[in-house]
Structure 1
Amino acid sequence: MTTPPPPPTVRTVRTDPPLAADEATTLVAFLDFHRDTLRQKTEGLTAEQLAQPLAPSTLTLGALLKHVALNEASWFGEVLHGRPMPEPWASVDWDADRDWEMTSARDDSPAELRRLMDEAVEQARRDIDAALAEGGLEFRSATLSRKDDETFTLRWILLHMIEEYARHNGHADLLREAVDGVTGE
């Protein structure tokens, strides 16, 4: 059995956040920086490589791509703007598999995983822009926090998503090195 060739490499250009800008621009730039970091960590890999865990964990690079796509749709669409979750998330039986995005990623092609993330990020950018235009960083979410029964500010959601990506990019560093030895930013 021969291993299929890796997909064509798409080179993500990662831009450093500005050293001096207003708060909203800085937060969005840091979020974009971390989005692009995860894209870089997963570029050029085959479906098999994206599905390779680093024992004893079952986490994979493909699972990270699908997980962040879910988070983009959830936080910026559902929580911030009160929209129902789009497909593929809307029809998932989350009670049967609460980590469905992670476990099902092994069945998706690299192109499908990237498409899910890219489409979720593009919609999230539109959602962020709309919130900034309407209320700035103090724009309040349509959905209440389960814990505090309060709404979130756009500022809080942006910072949470930066933290989410930063944590997962650390995972991606280890996973990518285990897959093919690639290290670095």
Structure 2
Amino acid sequence: MKLKRIGSILFTLTLVLIFILFYFDSKPSTELPKKQSVSMPTELNPVVKERTEQLIQQAAKKGIVVVITDSFRSAEDQDKLYEQGRTTDGNIVTNAKGGESYHNYGLAIDFALETPSGDVVWDREYDRNGNAKADWAEVVKMAKALGFEWGGDWKGFKDYPHLEMNFGLTIADLQNGERPADSSLTADLETDQ
């Protein structure tokens, strides 16, 4: 009888222990994830760089000369640009402070067009190749086919020279240390579209 009782107690304790282990293992953690110290990029993301080169080459095949006027931008440079038109001379050209722009994470470029005389223009109606299509629109179409998003599609503030690849990450994600996955670095798109 004593052995039966001891066996019953051990069985009950085992069930309680299993329940406790299961409960604590499956209970969602209330701890916040520890913030990782992730360094800020110092150059253009390799995929963005590759696609930028492809864009320039594709445009050249159509007689359009694309000039990259800006790419990676440090947070300090972003702050200086943000001050333009606010506390320094010039027009306001950005609403993003340092760390708030995809440029700061190497995920954006700005472009313009070059004329035969070597002038750099932001004329969205310019037609250097004479095919009755605005070169700007042709470049944007090629960029979108390469995976870029265009600032001219934004609601509100339109940034017509801006092209970005955010890889599904928001600025908040990037500020919290997330970066594009390495698998995205091997993604390939056709170069002749």
Please indicate the TM-score interval, normalised by the length of the shorter structure. Answer: under 0.3
TM-score normalised over the length of structure 2: 0.25
Structure whose residues are more often strand by fraction: 2
Higher relative contact order (CA 8 A, sep 6+): 1
Larger Rg: 2
TM-score (norm 1): 0.26
